[in-house]
């Protein structure tokens, strides 16, 4: 509830990045690129579920410029490398849900999901009662991922 009622940056959008990077940890932003940023999903499917989000408030991938599209993909690749290093998942789901009918919970600001996966990580909890079990607090995950983003981004620059 604190997240939903907290400060918004663009017409009430919870996905818009704050102008002040000092708020990054509170907002669970782990990396800022040139045209996109990465934040932890507050309602994750798995521990370490990330979202790569354009700074510009657009609802569809077709609205991105060539530079924004290139940065979106480069930072998504970076997110995959970070998750593989930190969480050692057996696989990754990477995808977009464009529009409400496609499953976009927040359709007004497009975002790309990067979800670490392990064999057997889907269990009866989600099926029986739409409950997910996440073994680590989001703030702790944020503190573990942010420095690895900085390290790997510097290495690939």
Buried-exposed string 121-133: b where 16+ CB fall within 10 A, e elsewhere: beeeeeeeeeebe
Coil/strand/helix, residue 157: coil
Phi, psi of 90 (to 5 degrees): -85, -15
Among all residues, which ones are annotated catalytic?
A: 111
The answer to whether the CB of 78 falls within 8 A of the CB of 153 is: yes
CB neighbours of residue 91 within 10 Å: 10
The per-residue DSSP string of 114-148 comes to: EEEE-TT---HHHHHHS----SS-HHHHHHHHHHH
Query: Would you state the pLDDT for residue 66?
Result: 97
Residue 135 pLDDT exceeds 80: no
The per-residue DSSP string of 56-104 comes to: S--SSGGGS-HHHHHHHHHHHHHHHHHHHHHT--SEEEEEE--SGGGT-
Query: Would you state the pLDDT for residue 11?
Result: 60
Of the candidates 122, 101, 126, 102, the one whose C-alpha atom is nearest the C-alpha of residue 112 is 102
* Domains of the chain, CATH where assigned: 30-118+130-156 (3.30.428.10)
Query: Would you state the pLDDT for residue 79?
Result: 96
What percentage of the chain has pLDDT greater than the value 70? 82
Higher pLDDT, 132 or 43: 43
What percentage of the chain has pLDDT greater than the value 90? 40
pLDDT tens readout for residues 24-46: 888 899 999 999 999 998 888 88
Task: Give the chain's length.
Answer: 157
Residue 125 pLDDT exceeds 50: no
Coil/strand/helix, residue 23: helix
pLDDT tens readout for residues 61-104: 999 999 999 999 999 999 999 999 999 999 999 998 887 877 77
CA distance 55 to 17: 6
CA distance 131 to 63: 34
| Whether the model pTM is above 0.85 | no
């Amino acid at each position: 509830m604190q997240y939903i009622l907290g400060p918004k940056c663009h017409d009430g959008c919870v996905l818009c990045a704050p102008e002040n990077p000092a708020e990054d940890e509170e907002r669970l932003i782990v990396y800022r690129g040139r045209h996109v940023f990465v934040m932890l999903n507050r309602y994750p499917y798995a521990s370490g579920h990330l979202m790569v989000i354009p700074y510009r408030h657009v609802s569809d991938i077709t609205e991105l410029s060539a530079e924004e599209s290139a940065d979106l993909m480069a930072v998504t690749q970076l997110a995959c490398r970070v998750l593989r290093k930190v969480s050692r998942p057996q696989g990754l789901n990477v995808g977009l849900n464009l529009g409400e009918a496609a499953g976009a919970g927040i359709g007004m600001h497009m975002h790309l999901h990067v979800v670490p996966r392990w064999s057997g990580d889907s269990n009866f909890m989600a099926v029986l009662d739409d409950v997910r079990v996440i073994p680590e607090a989001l703030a702790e995950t944020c503190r573990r991922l942010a420095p690895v983003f900085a390290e790997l981004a510097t290495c690939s620059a």
